[in-house]
Structure 1
Amino acid sequence: MDLRNRRARGPAPSLLAAALAATLLVAGCSPVQPRQAVEDRPDVTDVLADGAELQQGGELAMGLSAEPDVLDPTTSSSLYTRYVMNTICEKLYDIDADNEIVPQLAADLPTVRRGGREVEIPLRDGIRFADGEDFDAAAVQQTLERHLTKDDSARSGEMGPVTDISTPDDRTVVLSYDEPFAPITASLADRAGMIMSPAALDELGDDFGQSPVCVGPFTFVERVPQTSITVEKDPLYYDADEVMLDEITYRIITDANIRAANLRAGEVQVIDTVSPQDISYLRRDDSLGTLQVGSLGYQGVTFNLGNTDGVGQPPGEIDTPLAQDPRLRQAFELSIDREALVNSVFNNEATPACSAISPDTPYATDASNACPEHDPEESLRLLEEAGVETPVEIEMTVSNTPDTLRLAQALQAMVREGGFDIEIAPVEYSTLLDQQDRGDFEALQLGWSGRIDPHGNLFGFVVSEQPDNVAGYSDPQVDELMTRAAQEEGTARRARTYGEAIDVLREDLPIVYLYRVTSLTAYSREVTNISTYADGVVRLGRAAYLADPDDVADAAGEGE
């Protein structure tokens, strides 16, 4: 069955009432509040052993909420791929619980010279890939050049306009630019910094993702499509003595209720993306613990404005009022009550969002924090001004998970008052990624897990012909501002330029931002050394079982 033709009209009456219950009364824009101002629960990013005796060995299963895409750092685009890659493909840099960049495979933070046009990266010594190959400057060079030159690379925009990659010696890599590129260190703390084995790249080429080989506490074993991915401890890992588990299996369990049930039954020991519908009873279970942290990313609705030939290609013509006239997209945003959405669908386990820049970051400005109020009357006026017949019908493609369908139904009910009729087209998550890249959608509900530098949240999505610009959006002013922001020195200066770009984007609205999730991870108290940071990634590289059952009971008594 073609799921694009499955259309759901009208939520249940109780959901409709909840979605419309909380309505803001003040017109205009109001600032989005930092997460701490609107939530009572503080972030909990780690569960750590704190001196408890750990069990050597054992197998851990994690319930994963969606199937990862290809396990290739150059081409992948899924958050869930990052979960798996985090255990098998370390990066030049990483972030910590405080969102600070720290060296991982690099020996130190980069040295920047020539006014930001030369970036020197020192590398750690004594490291080997899982296949026994030495980790050195030549390996880093080969990976980074692949990011820049591979036709289907999703990393090229993250690397910036590199003109040359050189290796003065085995432990040093130098990136050269004609213009400064401030986000490069943050980019190398994500997939762009995952270094792949040269031998595996030479042997597998485009098929590297079928059997990836990197540096990591674990190494890839097998993948059963739509079922599981298994990794095992790598004895060649430079910190192998710190790795307790023998094996991790990522089990694909897309239904949040089933994930939670599997956790309580002991079938899995960790689950990601806990549903707000389940979190309360999981928190009451003394055998379980939870991690929660605000997101640097967002969830939103992307409109197809020109993606006719696939993502990254020159935009084509889509001859519909929704694609042609920004007043329709502005009206759509005015039809949304973000506070009501967060309250009704997510039980306040999320925060409203109106831009790609989190108010909790130093790059936040009045421009990025401004949030148009719910105003369905103004929405109807804009639609009348645009000369379109109401209700305006929109087909919105969404993933077919229960939480996403609840969100879609709440949106469906909410925007009706503003003159829109949403037809919900649910598909599997992997199908959703494929459709967005092909441009096979009118509107798409999807999000981004977030990066610590705004470049990673904006550039690829709104600059012409970039690999994540699934909207097919193109505006010369936005292109210029986004390029300039990446070249400027100083956080405040860059923040102002991003704010200028956001002002333009707010008029064009290729993406209507809705909310920021709270990343909710639940785990059995039998295990420890698990982390979830604001980049959304669940880190299991040092996870272990507690050796003493009394430690489990003590942890239960401490709460979250």
Structure 2
Amino acid sequence: MSFRSRSARSRSVVAGFLCTAMLVAGCGSGGSADDNEIVVGLESETTGWLPGRNLLINYPSLNVAYAVFDPLMRTDANGAMRPYLAESLEPNADLTQWTLTLRPGVRFHDGTPLDAQALKTIYDQYLSIPTSNLLGSLRFVESLEVVDDLTVRYTLTEPDASFPAVLEGPAGWPFSPTAAAEQGADAFASQPVGTGPFRFASWLRGSELELERNEDYWREGLPKLDRITFQVITDENARVASLQSGDIDAMQTLRQSTVRQVRALEDVTTHDFIGNLAGGQLLNTQQPPLDDVRVRQALAYAIDQPAILDLLGGSDLSPTATQYYQPDSPWHSERAEQTWPTNDPGRARQLLDEYRNDPNRSDGKAPGEPVVLEHNIIPDPSVVEMGLGYKAMWEAVGFVHNMHQVEVAVITDTNASGDFMINTSRFGNEDDPCITLRNSFGDPEVTPTNYTNLDDAEVQQHLATLCSTTDQAAREQAVDAIMVRLAELVPHTWTGHTPTSVAARPELQGIPDWTFPDGTPGDGFPMTAVTWANVSIVE
């Protein structure tokens, strides 16, 4: 992963001119050194804040979640998993039992203690119930038992080297079981009670969420701010305008074109990040004609990736992707990079012709009939431009391409139901590769997040190795083998690894600099997920 902070430049236009010129967001003021408050613009919000019930894994949600909750485990600057709210996490020899000890003296925002019984109640009554959306993450957990006041033991049904990373996500964000029981799930999801540096103050859905300083936070000297207001500003241009006018103090973006915009702003510091997240098109490998690998390979060979990236904001900002791991990652596979079917329209036509003229073609049509693609994209202007680029490239080699503009909710629903052929999507993250790849390519019968429906014995074999050992060399070999196999099977196409940015007024210090309690540097702000406890206003 790659981080870069770009220093603010001096303002070259006066504030009065900016106020007059600003059409989307009016002049106002965010936080100041006097009131020690800030306003942060997010691209979206979640439906609630109860782990196990609400989806809390997108990057806008993580900005709020890391302020309200403390993860039991977190990732350090070197990519290693370390205890954070936990004091220790130790496995047995075969990785089927993990014993976790909590830090003493930690309390939830309601004053009740964080202890072993709280973890067990959370697991038994919220995380492991049939309706929990964390059952996939916890599918190998057979039980959680209390060992003593501050210690629990997780027993797994099979070895899992990635289990510490599970506890960095929502399954490892303790919340007050007392408050959840008293309020009920619906009310608690709207007013969460965690152990984090900020307490919940108010939430106006679709508009803004306010958090205030937790005066009893277990980490001395944190948080440094008194209040954070998270504003939902879904339109990229409006978010940029709000930052430029002073209505907000910081903002996130996961769009190439917006990264370019905020880099050009006067008196703004951008904190840029390129990680493993990459754009592409999700291919349903069980849906004819995409159930035939020749068709999927033809789609990939037809794509001019730099040209697509230029439509999205610039190939100079986003390195082309060939796999789940960007070139700076220790998991990056040189073999997969060489194996990936890069742009070759002649080869694309050859493979398409083989399928089109096959008397046993899987779509049931007669030899020579057109091969038709049904492609769903979201109605964002840059994404529509991208879709038209795909259309031109795929039709140039002989496909018939039908593009459908649908809302994000339709993409989400059809991914889950399997009722799609091609959906625009993003792939990859900074998680342990066992988690990422098992969730994406585990047995589709028991892995609801295997949206491509790819079922490949070789991939499963290497996944088993990856997830059952802590030997780094063996794990890297397993990831390399999986990446090569995916490059051969093409369960989805790639564009490029996504550049992201947190743009802020220069007085906001500490955005990249959170640390563990012992001073060990943390992993910064991956994919715009900021740890706001360490941020301060320094004039």
TM-score range, shorter chain: 0.7 to 0.9
**Cα distance change, pair 491–144 in 1 and its aligned pair in 2 (3 A):** farther
Question: Match for residue 37 of structure 2?
Answer: 59
Would the alpha carbon gap of residues 397 and 173 (structure 1) be closer, same or farther in structure 2, given more than 3 Å must change?
A: same
Residue 492 of structure 1, aligned match among 453, 469, 473: 473
How big is the shift at 1:133? 1.7
1:537 aligned to which of 509, 529, 539 = 529
Preserved contact between residue 276 and residue 325 of structure 2 (Cα < 8 Å) = yes
Equivalent position to 1:248, from 224, 228, 239: 228
- Mapped partners of 1:224, 1:433: distance in 2: 24
Change (3 A) 1:221 1:227: same
Matches within 5 A, 1:332-481: 332-347=299-314, 348-370=316-338, 371-387=340-356, 392-448=371-427, 450-463=429-442, 464=444, 465-481=446-462
The 1:522–1:234 alpha-carbon spacing in structure 2 relative to 1, beyond 3 Å, is same
Contact 1:64-1:254 at 8 Å conserved across structures: yes
Deviates more, 1:209-218 or 1:83-92: 209-218
| CA offsets 1:145-186 (integer angstroms, 9 cap, x no match) | 567623344433434522332221122222223432111112
RMSD of aligned alpha carbons: 2.9
Q: Is the Cα contact below 8 Å between 1:129 and 1:135 reproduced in 2?
A: yes
Q: Residues of 2 paired with 1:438 and 1:71: CA distance?
A: 25
Report the secondary structure of 1:334's partner residue: helix
Please say if 1:125 is aligned against 2:104. yes
User: 1:47, 1:530 within 8 Å by CA — same for their partners in 2?
Assistant: no
**Cα distance, 1:507–1:368 mapped onto 2, change above 3 Å:** closer
Shift of 1:472: 3.4
Structure 1: gaps spanning 5 or more residues: 1-34, 36-41, 49-53, 307-317, 549-560
With normalisation by structure 1, the TM-score equals 0.79
Q: How does 1:256-271 map to 2 (within 5 A)?
A: 256-271=236-251
Counterpart Cα distance in 1 of 2:127 and 2:259: 42
1: distance between equivalents of 2:146 and 2:34? 39
Match of 1:304 among 284, 289, 293: 284
Offset from partner CA, 1:80-122 (integer Å, 9 cap, x none): 22222111111011123443333220113x2222232222222
CA separation in 1, counterparts of 2:208 and 2:427? 23
Q: Aligned pair in 2 of structure 1 residues 214, 418: CA closer, same or farther (>3 Å)? A: farther
For 1:528, the equivalent position in structure 2 comes to: 509
| 1:298-349 CA-partner distances (Å, limit 9, x unpaired) | 222112345xxxxxxxxxxx4x323x32221111111112233334533221
Query: Secondary structure at 2:159's aligned position in 1?
Result: coil
Distance 1:413 1:204 in 2: 54
Q: 1:484 to 1:145 in 2, by over 3 A?
A: farther
1:240 deviation in Å? 6.6
Deviation at 1:204, TM superposition (A): 5.4
Instruction: Provide closer, same or farther for how the CA distance between residues 95 and 341 of structure 1 changes in structure 2, counting only shifts above 3 A.
Output: same
- Tell me which residue corresponds to 1:162: 141
| 2:197 is the counterpart of 1:217 | yes
Contact 2:259 2:500 in 1 (8 A): no
Q: CA-to-partner distance for each residue in 1:192-216, whole Å, 9 max, x for gaps?
A: 3211221234345653433322111
Question: 1:128 deviation in Å?
Answer: 0.9
1:361 and 1:216 map into 2 onto residues whose CA distance is 30
The aligned residue for residue 88 of structure 1 is: 68
Q: Which of 513-522 and 74-83 deviates more?
A: 74-83
Hey, what's the Cα distance between the residues in 2 that align with 1:535 and 1:529? 16
TM-superposed CA distance for 1:268, in Å, is 1.0
Maintained 8 Å contact 2:256/2:498: no
- The one-letter amino acid paired with 2:425 is L
C-alpha change, 1:191 and 1:492, in structure 2 (3 Å) is same
Q: Check 1:489–1:545 CA distance in 2 against 1; reply closer, same or farther (3 A cut).
A: closer
Partners of 1:443 and 1:482 in 2: how far apart? Answer: 25
Distance in 2 between residues matched to 1:176 and 1:45, nearest whole Å: 42
| Distance across 2 between alignment mates of 1:87 and 1:297 | 23
Change in Cα spacing, 1:136 to 1:286, as seen in structure 2 (3 Å) is: same
Distance 1:545 1:425, change over 3 A: farther
For residues 17-96 of structure 1, what are the structure 2 equivalents within 5 Å?
Answer: 43-44=3-4, 55=33, 57-74=35-52, 75-76=54-55, 77-96=57-76
Q: 1:243 to 1:261 in 2, by over 3 A?
A: same
Mapped to 2, the partners of 1:84 and 1:423 lie a distance apart of 38
Q: Which residue of 1 aligns with 2:256?
A: 276
Work out the CA distance in 2 between the residues paired with 1:396 and 1:259.
29
1:346-371 Cα offsets, whole Å, 9 max, x none, are 32211111222333222333344343
How many matched pairs?
Answer: 488
Q: What whole-Å deviation, never above 9, does each CA across 1:40-90 have from its counterpart, x for those lacking one? A: xx7226999xxxxx9474332211123334433324143322222111111
TM-score normalised over the length of structure 2:
0.82
